[in-house]
Amino acid sequence: MAAFNEDLVFKALYETFPDPVIIIDAERVIRSANNAALRQFGYPAEEFIDRSVRLIYANDAEYEKRLRNRAARVDETAARTSNYLYVRRDGSTFSGHLRTTPLLDDQGAELALIGIIRDVSDLTEAVSERQKASDMLKAALEAMPEGFAIFDRQERLVVYNRAYQAICGPAGAALKPGITAEEILLLARQGGHYPDALPGTREGDEWIASRLRDFRHPDGRPRIYRYADDRWLRVENIKAKDGNTVVARVDVTDLKRAELALERQRQELEHKNEALDQFTATVSHDLKAPLRHISMFSEMIEDDLAAGSQAELAENARHLRDSVKRMNRVIDSLLDYAQIAHRITHWTEVRLTDIVAETLTILASDVQDAQATFEVGDLPEVEGDPELLRRLVQNLIGNAIKYRHADRQPVIRIHGGVADQIVELVVEDNGIGIDPRFSTRIFEVFQRLHKDETVYGGTGIGLALAKRIAESHDGSIRLDTTFREGARFIVLLPRRLRKAN
């Protein structure tokens, strides 16, 4: 194999090698450079050889970096760790990946260093472009309000944004690449993040299992889950082609709340409609009855006149008039009831003590007739419409007097208090009481339990009115069915209807 001279082969290879090759000695002086090197750096051989290798480095910092790296024997196989900024004769610079091989003598002492410098400016640029794109993507991910994360085939977290971290709640602080989806779910559950999966409940175990099922085998349909602090999140898991799972979380609390509010409104409306149906049925009954009577009595008067009979004439005429009066009362009550809602105009601080005192003055003659005794305790103040509240109190006290027991002297107790910004007003008597079965019906319009109007009077609107007034103050009224001595009504009103401004 001596057909060709090896030295010639190596020389040819050296001269035609496409990457610049530079050989320096122990003093770091350039001793040789191939054509590619001279071309790359733009020097004629005589201006390049015998110069310090410092010549090709763009600045002192780059050169010192090179010296440090050489002393530390960094891995030169990767461009990342052995990349320097070089300078051409004309001052222009480029990035070069330097790989070196020492030339050693028999004793292992270094004679020279062969360096191959590959121009990687295109690559460097590409890398920096990619870095920029990646930074932008990351910034966009961080900025977007939706929680976003990617899990690998082993269900380990790879990437996530800040929103995702926030959404993970108590598990947020523990997020790091490598944590599994199940670990995140369990951590968040332990921290009370899922109202539907409270720690230590079987329903919670099932809930977590179903969440994991959806994560592992997503069916492409987003689901909405309840999170702590009454928040709702739309959870979407997407299985990517590469086996990764992309998860997206969107806070839909506002939407969900709107939906719930709408549902509440719908139900409220339904109740109102039912109440209205009930109301119209009752009202038409109570208006039709006296009308029918009027028609009947006038017919009877006609008959009496035709027959020339005087016996019942006066009585029938009286009944006729009574029916008209009754109808009048019904209509007045109705108007009263209907107008309540529109009458609430001025809210002031109302002293219930004053209200009760006024009421007792108004009812003075009834009180005297009934020989009723009153025990009035300390009463709180409340924000509301004084006129309406007076009518509420008047209706309750009026009832207490009206439905007294024939066998005992009426004693009516009025007391109250404030707890948690709710004012309580209690009116109780020792009268005939109310059957607990009727505890809700008594508050409906025209529901009289005692039919004989001549004994108890009234059109059956008093308690309906009281209820309406209480409700117009965002309050409530109820019959205490546990009280057996007589009737006890409890009115609850918010201390303040509106926030002080």
Partner 1 sequence: MVSTPKRLLLVEDDAHDARFVMRAFAQVDETIDLVLAADADDAIAQLARTHFDFVLLDIKMPGSDGIELLRRIRRGQATVLIPVIVLTSSSNPTDVLHCYRAGANAYVAKPASVAGYRHFAEAFVRFWIENTILPPGMTTRR
| Minimum distance from residue 286 beta carbon to partner 1 (Å) | 9
Q: At what angle do helices 462-472 and 313-343 cross, to 10 degrees?
A: 10
| Minimum distance from residue 322 beta carbon to partner 1 (Å) | 8
Tell me whether strands 223-227 and 231-239 are parallel, antiparallel or unpaired.
antiparallel
- SS3 at position 104: strand
Among residues 40, 95, 323, 472, which is the contact residue for partner 1, using CB under 8 A? 323
C-beta closer to partner 1: residue 383 or 444:
444
Answer for the pair 252, 234: CB distance below 8 angstroms, yes or no: yes
C-beta closer to partner 1: residue 52 or 278:
278
**Assign residue 50 a region: left if phi > 0, alpha if psi is -120 to 50, beta otherwise?**
left
Under the criterion CB under 8 A, does residue 282 sit at the interface with partner 1? yes
| Minimum distance from residue 442 beta carbon to partner 1 (Å) | 11
Query: Which stretch, 88-96, 104-112, 282-290, 475-483, contacts partner 1 (CB under 8 A)?
Result: 282-290
Q: Kindly write out the interface string for residues 45-84 of this chain, putting x where it contacts partner 1 by CB under 8 A and - elsewhere.
A: ----------------------------------------
Residue type, 499: K
Q: Kindly write out the interface string for residues 10-49 of this chain, putting x where it contacts partner 1 by CB under 8 A and - elsewhere.
A: ----------------------------------------
Taking the C-alpha atoms of residue 172 and residue 178, their distance in angstroms, rounded to an integer, is 14
Taking the C-alpha atoms of residue 85 and residue 121, their distance in angstroms, rounded to an integer, is 9
C-beta closer to partner 1: residue 300 or 492:
300
| Minimum distance from residue 333 beta carbon to partner 1 (Å) | 17
Q: How many CB atoms lie within 10 A of CB 226?
A: 15
C-beta closer to partner 1: residue 236 or 453:
453
What token pair was written down for 226?
A: 């309840």
Residue for token pair 């750096």: 41
Catalogue the E-assigned strands of 409-470: 411-419, 422-429
C-beta closer to partner 1: residue 291 or 419:
291
| Minimum distance from residue 231 beta carbon to partner 1 (Å) | 44
Query: Which stretch, 13-21, 194-202, 204-212, 276-284, contacts partner 1 (CB under 8 A)?
Result: 276-284
What token pair was written down for 457?
A: 């009077």
| Minimum distance from residue 320 beta carbon to partner 1 (Å) | 10
C-beta closer to partner 1: residue 454 or 501:
454
Answer for the pair 41, 88: CB distance below 8 angstroms, yes or no: yes
- Is the four-CA dihedral 191, 195, 201, 206 of positive or negative sign? negative
**CA distance readout (Å), 113 to 24, 85, 398:** 5, 19, 115
| Minimum distance from residue 402 beta carbon to partner 1 (Å) | 17
Among residues 11, 285, 321, 325, which is the contact residue for partner 1, using CB under 8 A? 285
Answer for the pair 258, 164: CB distance below 8 angstroms, yes or no: no
**CA distance readout (Å), 255 to 16, 147, 252, 259:** 71, 17, 5, 6
Give how many residues touch partner 1 by CB under 8 A.
21
Q: Kindly write out the interface string for residues 438-467 of this chain, putting x where it contacts partner 1 by CB under 8 A and - elsewhere.
A: ---x--x--x---xx---------------
Q: Kindly write out the interface string for residues 163-202 of this chain, putting x where it contacts partner 1 by CB under 8 A and - elsewhere.
A: ----------------------------------------
Please count the helices (runs of H) and the strands (runs of E) in the chain: 15, 17
Among residues 288, 321, 325, 484, which is the contact residue for partner 1, using CB under 8 A? 288
| Minimum distance from residue 281 beta carbon to partner 1 (Å) | 5
Q: Kindly write out the interface string for residues 290-319 of this chain, putting x where it contacts partner 1 by CB under 8 A and - elsewhere.
A: --xx-xxx-xx--x---------------x
Query: Which stretch, 229-237, 255-263, 283-291, 462-470, contacts partner 1 (CB under 8 A)?
Result: 283-291
Taking the C-alpha atoms of residue 239 and residue 289, their distance in angstroms, rounded to an integer, is 72
Catalogue the E-assigned strands of 283-390: 348-351, 373-376, 381-384
Answer for the pair 144, 151: CB distance below 8 angstroms, yes or no: no
C-beta closer to partner 1: residue 289 or 497:
289
| Minimum distance from residue 155 beta carbon to partner 1 (Å) | 59
Query: Which stretch, 15-23, 81-89, 175-183, 280-288, contacts partner 1 (CB under 8 A)?
Result: 280-288
Answer for the pair 384, 497: CB distance below 8 angstroms, yes or no: yes
Answer for the pair 492, 475: CB distance below 8 angstroms, yes or no: yes
| Minimum distance from residue 144 beta carbon to partner 1 (Å) | 57
Tell me whether strands 422-429 and 411-419 are parallel, antiparallel or unpaired.
antiparallel
Taking the C-alpha atoms of residue 457 and residue 394, their distance in angstroms, rounded to an integer, is 15
| Minimum distance from residue 491 beta carbon to partner 1 (Å) | 24
> Which residues of this protein are in contact with partner 1, per CB under 8 A?
278, 281-282, 285, 288-289, 292-293, 295-297, 299-300, 303, 319, 323, 441, 444, 447, 451-452
